[in-house]
Each structure stands twice: as C-alpha cells, then as structure tokens.
Amino acid sequence: MPRAILCLPTYNERENLEPMIDELGAVLDTARDRVLVIDDGSPDGTGEIADRLATEHPWVFVLHRATKEGIGPAYVAGFRRALAEGAELVLEMDCDFSHSPSDVQRLIDAAAGAELVLGSRYAPGGGTQNWGLVRRIVSRGGCLYAQILLGLPVRDLTGGFKCFRREALEAIDLDALSAHGYAFQIEATYRVQRAGLRIEEIPITFVERRAGASKMTGAIVAEAMWRVPVLRLRALVGKL
C-alpha cells in the first residue's frame, strides 16, 4: 500500500501537467508514494496526457470525471480513491506550479506531528510572489474573515497545499463537504479542527501560475463569503 497519495486536480492544464509530474518524480519516494491526477473532462486534452503519463510512470494513476464541478468535488473524489488505495497520507496540490514540488516533502515530514499540515502563505516566513494589490487584499481579507467568524487559529484558511493524515479524513464527513470552490479549503480545515485534531502550518511561498488561465472567479469568492457564516451557524446548533 502507498505511504502517500498526492491528489492533483486538473482542468485545462496541458501545459503544466507533464513538467509537474517530472518534478514530482524527482522529489517523491516513488517506491511508496503515488500521484493521482483527477481530471474533470478537460477539453484541451489534459486527460489524454495524464493517461500517457500513467503508462510511463507506475506511480501515476488517473481518475477521470465527466464534467467540471469545481475543486471541492474533485478533491472529495480523490480523497475517496486515496483512502480506498490504503494511503496513510493524502496531499492536495495545485497543478500550475503555484505550489512548489520542492515543498512536498516538508509537508510529509510535518505530518509526523499533526493530522493536518497546511502549506501557509501567511505563517511567519511564508509569502506570495507576482500578485497585484487587489489579489493580495482579497486573499488576506478572505482568510481573516474566515478566521474571525470561525474562531480558528489558522492563518491561511483558503490555501490548497495540504497534507492530511488518514485519520483526519476518516474523522470528518466527506459527504458533508459540499463547497465547490475554495470555500472547500475553509470547510475541510474547520471540520478537522472541530474533530479535535492537530493542525500545523508551515511557511511556503505561493507563486503565480506558470501557464494557462486562473480558475478563480467572482462566484468562487461569493461562495466562500456566504458559506463561512453558515458553517459557524451549523457548528453553534450542533449540526457540524
């Protein structure tokens, strides 16, 4: 059984997928770690590239989903597959090089002392590169908004670079993770915290994507805004 499975969701990432797999192959222990590409029916041929890479690398496998439903449902499908495969560690990572493959082992190492490790832009030593002022304000403001409303001592609640121990995913209700955009990241972390598990943030530098178009939209921001108070309300009435 694999030690770690890294879930790599893709939608129209044909320019990034192969170089990302190459770099992950250089940093993972491919004898016991695997990469699961989760492709949401990319019309640009990303799924076909993923299938070819899986034939070339025995540590790569692919989960094809028929339609684009958002990052949340893609990760939930990946989590289920990783748990079924017996993984002890399950990682999230963007495919566009916003997250550095060189940081993957740091997350894995930190999971020895926590059920959830977050690659954090806002922990001491973390940061962002090549972001404009508006994006920095939206990102930092969104994290502070969620942190205050949920009472969470976590600095980077919207980041998507994470390592879950198996116990964390088994302790939360995957069926209840209903957010489609980056509100999913807030909800997953909040549920781990509500389960009484340990969360650790390690600093990372988030870099603007190498190629392709950002998936961030106004609807994704709006979903995060309304889901945060709903999460808090459900927790207060004992339904979370």
State the chain's mean pLDDT as an integer: 90
Q: How far, rounded to the nearest angstrom, does the alpha carbon of residue 19 sit from its chain's CA centroid?
A: 19
CB 146 within 8 A of CB 225: no
Q: How far apart are CA 168 and CA 10, in angstroms?
A: 24
- Do 194 and 235 form a contact (C-beta atoms < 8 A)? yes
* pTM exceeding the 0.75 threshold for the entire prediction: yes
DSSP class per residue in 100-127: -GGGHHHHHHHTTS-SEEEEESSSTT-E
Across residues 63-67, what is the average pLDDT?
A: 93
* C-alpha span between 121 and 135 (Å, rounded): 13
Question: Which has the closest alpha carbon to 121: 95, 157, 147, 85?
Answer: 157
Note the pLDDT of residue 144.
86
Residue 240 has pLDDT above 80, yes or no: no
For the chain, how many structural domains are there in total? 1
Please give, one letter per residue, the 3-state secondary structure of 143-206. HHHHHHHHCCCCCCCCCCCEEEEHHHHHHCCHHHCCCCCCHHHHHHHHHHHHCCCCEEEEECEE
pLDDT for 20 beyond 90: yes
Looking at the predicted structure, is the pLDDT value of residue 220 above 70?
no
Residue 115 structural domain: 4-236
Residue type, 57: H
Say which CATH number the domain at 158 has: 3.90.550.10
AA identity, residue 176 = A
Nearest to 75 by CA among 167, 156, 184: 184
Mean pLDDT of 210-227: 62
How confident is residue 143, by pLDDT bands cut at 50, 70 and 90? confident
Start-to-end C-alpha separation, the chain: 32
Range with the lowest mean pLDDT among 69-83, 153-167, 171-185, 212-226?
A: 212-226
Q: Which amino acid is at 35?
A: V
Task: Give me the pLDDT at residue 209, please.
Answer: 63
Token pair recorded at residue 103? 């940081």
Give the residue-averaged pLDDT of 31-50: 96
Contacts of range 171-174, beta carbons closer than 8 Å, 24 or more positions apart: 171/115, 171/195, 171/197, 174/76, 174/79, 174/80
| Whole-number Å distance between alpha carbons of 31 and 20 | 18
pLDDT at 141: 76
Q: How far apart are CA 124 and CA 204, in angstroms?
A: 9
State the average pLDDT over residues 180-192: 90
pLDDT at position 180 over 60: yes
Confidence band for 217, pLDDT divided at 50, 70 and 90: low
CB 125 within 8 A of CB 106: no
Contact (CB, 8 A) for 117 and 107: yes
116-132 residue pLDDT tens? 999 999 999 998 887 77
Compute the average pLDDT of residues 18-46.
Answer: 96
